[in-house]
Amino acid sequence: MSRPKAVIIGMMGAGKTRVGREIAQILSLPFADADIDIEREVGMKIPAYFDKFGEPEFRKVESRLICEKLTSFDGIFSLGGGAPMTPATQEALAAYIADGGRVVYLMADPAEAMERANRGGGRPMLNGDANARWKKLFKERDPVFRQVANVHVHTRGLTPQGAAKKVIDMVNERAVHVTGTAIDPYDVAIGEGVMNHLVDVLGDKPVRIALIHTQSVQRHSDRARALLRQGGYEVSDIVIPDAEAGKTIEVANGIWQRLGNEGFTRSDAVVGLGGGAATDLAGFVAATWMRGVRYVNCPTSLLAMVDASTGGKTGINTPQGKNLVGSFYTPAGVLADMKSLATLPNDIFIEGLGEVAKSGFIMDAEILSILESHAAELKAFDGTTFLGTPLEDVVAELIERTVTVKAYHVSSDLKEKGLREFLNYGHTLGHAIEKLEHFHWRHGNAVAVGMVYAAELSHLMGYIDADLVDYHRSLLSSLGLPTSWNNGSFDDVLALMHRDKKARGNELRFVVLDRVGHVIHLDNPPADAVREAFERITR
């Protein structure tokens, strides 16, 4: 069965046909326009068909043709302005997306679109006061188009060629849509150059942007700053300490003071750029300033892309533990630009694989298969030669799959009262290790050891066999991740595990596997099993 490379929707005058033809030409693909195909089938122009048979009959013909084309055409397919409003067409487009398709909403500037629509003529839906009709239709259609499409492309000021190139770049990206109870929907975009969407995600309401980043990502922050200034924003450049040293109340307070002194209002916004610590802090600042302002995360490490930047957990550390102060507050979007991975040292890349493997163990076993198949290449990661290689697509798929796992758990449990806790597989011991190592151990490495500990505990409790424990060790080791730790006493670890956010009163609570791809809560296990599992990871 064939399917289109992309389906283009949009308002009348958005340039769907012109841009679609440009895309098809660049990609050497066939192009089809639903309106032209309908006229060919019914043997008359659409205005004449409207006059003779009415809009309902036209929509039936249109919907049938679109449904057929979605399963028989392998090029670029442009739909008429009102097509996505028909329920049958919406269902067909949803099925096309579910099968991996891209429905592109061309979001043209209203003035530009109205001018083109009026100039083109032959539009029965604009009979009468054309501009007034266009505005009324836009108000009705825009919310539907946003929901129907999984790729949104702003084309204001772009030539048809420029718009076509932008569409191609975005169609080639991967995206995970995050939605659910108590969540304002947002997208995690994954691909080379996705930072270029920064202005589109922020929108036109903010005047001032606080760009929060670390010194170590200067190359990427320079790019973000340039994009923001081109977008017309006033940019406050805020540099914070690297890693966990940046996640403190002192750093947050310094930023709050700057925002106050520089006149930041509730309509302004925050951009967090860097590793997981930077995006955690930026989100916390956004959640607390004026009780919540818009923010966008631009993660620059693998760990931040698959974990910290997505899900709406924001926070800072205290002397008593990691992430004990924070808020659940979702971003307006996450831009995981693969170009930033090219600047990562090998060890920073490797630690991110700990969180990737976790998502494989708790839900998506295909992640484990991909890690197994490419373990040697991943372990030998070299950012200077990474882009443009087959490994880049492997890593992009791992990011997409891992973010999808996270989105699943977050969608129905934003505030971590049940299902979301399963994302903490390996974290009960992992966070204790980080604290006892004064955060000199990286998060992904600590979680890797924590997963081995959780597997040992699950085995001792009779949930899994020894082979699955051994598989944890062999897979994680093959990726270059640690599987043991012996730099602290059991009593110190136990005290910290009692402070874990999953703990209930004086009872410990762990997340453990009962099989690959399925996790359960383990409440208050026997003390001797907790100790024995710890001794097994210290050998």
Query: Has 291 been annotated as catalytic?
Result: yes
Task: For Cα atoms 351, 357, 361, give the angle at the middle one, nearest 5 degrees.
Answer: 150
Contact 274, 304 (CB under 8 A): yes
Average pLDDT over residues 473-496: 95
Separation between Cα atoms, residue 511 and residue 424, nearest integer Å:
7
User: Do the annotations mark residue 277 as ligand-binding?
Assistant: yes
What is the distance of C-alpha 427 from the center of its chain?
22
Residue 379: active-site member: no
Residue tagged active-site, from 220, 420, 435, 459: 420
Mean pLDDT across 154-162: 86
Name the active-site residue from 3, 225, 427, 509. 427
406 classed as catalytic: yes
- CA-CA-CA-CA torsion for 88, 134, 151, 65, nearest 10 degrees? 30
* Backbone region of residue 489 per phi and psi (left: phi > 0; alpha: psi in -120 to 50; beta: other values): beta
Which residues neighbour 498 within 8 Å (Cβ) at sequence distance 6 or greater? 506, 508
Q: Is 276 annotated as a binding residue?
A: yes
Q: Pick the catalytic residue: 139, 291, 438, 539?
A: 291
Q: Is 420 a catalytic residue?
A: yes
3-state secondary structure 315-355: EEEECCEEEEEEEECCCCEEEEEHHHHHHCCHHHHHHHHHH
| CATH architecture of residue range(s) 425-538 | Up-down Bundle (1.20)
What is the mean pLDDT of the segment spanning 380-399?
94
- pLDDT at residue 129 greater than cutoff 70: no
Q: Is it the case that residue 418 has pLDDT exceeding 80?
A: no
Average pLDDT score over residue span 64-89: 93
> How far is 509 from 136, CA to CA, in rounded Å?
55
**Per-residue model confidence as pLDDT tens digits over 303-362:** 999 987 777 788 888 887 777 788 888 899 999 999 999 999 999 999 999 999 999 999
Q: Is 177 annotated as contributing to ligand binding?
A: no
Q: Which helix (H) or strand (E) holds 93?
A: helix 87-98
Residue 307: DSSP 8-state: I
Q: Which helix (H) or strand (E) holds 78?
A: strand 76-78
State residue 244's pLDDT score: 80
| Mean per-residue pLDDT, 97-111 | 87
Q: State the average pLDDT over residues 147-162.
A: 87
Would the pLDDT of 36 be above 90?
Answer: yes
Taking a C-beta distance cutoff of 8 angstroms, is the pair 205, 267 a contact?
yes
Residue pair 209/269 in contact (Cβ under 8 Å)? The answer is yes
Instruction: Provide the percentage of residues in the chain whose pLDDT is more than 90.
Output: 63
pLDDT computed for residue 505 by the predictor: 59
Which stretch, 199-208, 468-477, 515-524, has highest mean pLDDT?
468-477
Does 214 belong to an annotated binding site? no
Mean pLDDT of 494-501: 83
Q: Are the beta carbons of 424 and 502 closer than 8 angstroms? A: yes
Segment 367-390 shows an average pLDDT of 96
Q: What is the pLDDT of residue 114?
A: 77
Same CATH topology for 4-172 and 425-538: the answer is: no
Contact of 322 with 435, CB cutoff 8 Å: yes
Distance from C-alpha of 30 to C-alpha of 44, rounded to nearest angstrom: 23
pLDDT at 432 over 60: yes
294 is an annotated ligand-binding site residue: no
The residues spanned by each domain of the chain are 4-172, 175-406, 425-538
427-436 vs 490-498: helix axis angle to the nearest 10? 120
Q: Which of 102, 174, 213, 443 is catalytic?
A: 443
* Cβ–Cβ < 8 Å for 2, 150: no
Q: Is 332 known as a binding-site position?
A: no
pLDDT of res. 417:
57
Average pLDDT in the chain: 89
Catalytic residue among 62, 192, 351, 416: 416
Torsion over CA: 23, 24, 29, 33 (sign): positive
Q: How many CA atoms lie within 13 A of 121 on its CB side?
A: 1
In angstroms, rounded to a whole number, what is the distance separating the alpha carbons of residues 496 and 534?
13
Q: Would the annotation count 10 as a binding residue?
A: no
Q: Rounded distance, CA 72 to CA 175, Å?
A: 25
pLDDT value at residue 128? 55
Question: Residue 239's beta-bridge partner residues?
Answer: 213
pTM: 0.78
**For residues 501 and 267, what is the distance between their CA atoms, to the nearest angstrom?**
33
Question: Is 60 marked within a binding site?
Answer: no
Annotate 191-212 with DSSP letters as a single string.
Answer: ETTGGGGHHHHH-SS-SEEEEE
123 is known to lie in a ligand binding site: yes
Q: For CA atoms 409, 411, 415, 419, give the dihedral sign.
A: negative
Is 204 annotated in a binding site? The answer is no
- Which of 114 and 63 is assigned the larger pLDDT? 63
Q: Which of 376, 377, 378 is nearest to 444 (CA)?
A: 378
Report whether 415 contacts 328 (CB < 8 A). yes
**Nearest Cα residue to 430 out of 395, 381, 476, 371:** 476
Catalytic residue among 317, 323, 424, 445: 424
Q: For residues 14 and 170, what is the distance between their CA atoms, to the nearest angstrom?
A: 17
**Of residues 406, 409, 435, 472, which has the active-site annotation?**
406
35 marked among binding-site residues: yes
User: Which CATH code for domain 175-406?
Assistant: 3.40.50.1970
What is residue 131's predicted lDDT score, i.e. its pLDDT?
76
pLDDT greater than 60 at residue 123: no
* Chain centre to alpha carbon of residue 195: 12
Q: Which of 214, 431, 213, 439 is nearest to 324 (CA)?
A: 431
As a whole number, mean pLDDT of residues 227-231 equals 92
Residue 504 falls in the annotated catalytic set: no
Is 280 labelled as part of a ligand binding site?
yes
Q: Tell me: the pLDDT tens digits for 180-215? A: 777 788 889 999 889 988 998 998 889 999 999 998
Q: Which of the residue ranges 19-33, 39-53, 292-306 would you say has the lowest mean pLDDT?
A: 39-53
Catalytic residue among 62, 192, 355, 456: 355
Asked about 177 being catalytic, the answer comes back as no
> Average pLDDT, stretch 120-146?
74
Residue burial 380-416, b: 16+ Cβ < 10 Å; e: rest: ebeeeebeeeebbebbbebbbbbbbbbbbbbbebbeb
Q: Is residue 258 annotated as part of the catalytic site, yes or no?
A: no
Residue 278 assigned as binding residue: yes
What is the rounded average pLDDT of the residues 263-270?
Answer: 94
- CA-CA distance, 16 to 162, in Å (whole number)? 13
| Helix, strand, or coil (residue 280) | helix
Q: Any binding-site annotation on 141?
A: yes
| 13: nearest Cα among 109, 84, 86 | 109
Does the pLDDT at position 113 exceed 80? no
Q: For the domain 4-172, what is the CATH code?
A: 3.40.50.300
pLDDT band for 242, please (50, 70, 90 cuts).
Answer: confident
